[in-house]
Chains A and B, each alone.
Chain A
Amino acid sequence: MRNDVRERRVAKGLSQADLAHRLDVSRQTINSIETDRYTPSLPLAIAIARFFGTCVEEIFHADHE
């Protein structure tokens, strides 16, 4: 699933490790999400959206959209 996590993280001046620490996940997981190799669970997707002050569908985009 495509997403804007990398763009939003970079805009906030955070490293992958910083974001991972804030979300209580591994840096590998952030990297996998950013490179579309892993689709996060709904709770993690919501946590990511809340962290960036937006809603899930603004960050994650279904492939058919």
Chain B
Amino acid sequence: MQTTSRTSRKYLATPIFGVLMGVVYLVALSVAGSPVYGVLAFGVMVAFSAALLLARRRSETVRGLLDHRDERISAIDLRATAITALAMIAVVLVAFVVQIARGQSGWPYSMLGFVGGVSYVAAVIYLRIRG
């Protein structure tokens, strides 16, 4: 059973990650000479994080997705992530095939496919060993 303080930290992880990514976008776009777009991107990420925290108060599903206390919502999260990964794999494969059919190298889709494949095999090995 988790303590309240541990749970509070856990549900803040995704919103904090969102804000941190906003800072990264701000810095990256500022370095690229587009500080206005950087501020916009930062604002979008802050708004997204704030929306998550507000939705958490009204929705059991959002609450469960953020704090992972409910096993059924965690299972839904896992399956939704797997479906998302399948969609990404399909996009990468189609884009790779279109590129090589045009006589191009397939970059960066070949690398994305390679990283995906290696990650899957590594995850299977790790999870099998862990039991």
Contacts and interface: CB of A to CB of B under 8 A. Distances in A.
A25 B1 contact: no
B72 A32 contact: yes
Given A38-B72, A40-B71, A26 B63 contact: yes
Contacts of B64: 26
Chain B, interface size category, equals: 10 to 19
A8 to B, nearest CB: 19
Contacts of A15: none
Contacts of A32: 72
- Do most interface residues of chain A lie in helix, strand or loop, or is the interface mixed? loop
Interface in A7-64: 24-29, 32, 38, 40-41, 44
A29 B1 CA distance: 17
B72 A28 contact: yes
A41 B71 CA distance: 8
Contacts of B73: 26, 28-29
Given A38-B72, A41-B71, A44-B71, A26 B60 contact: yes
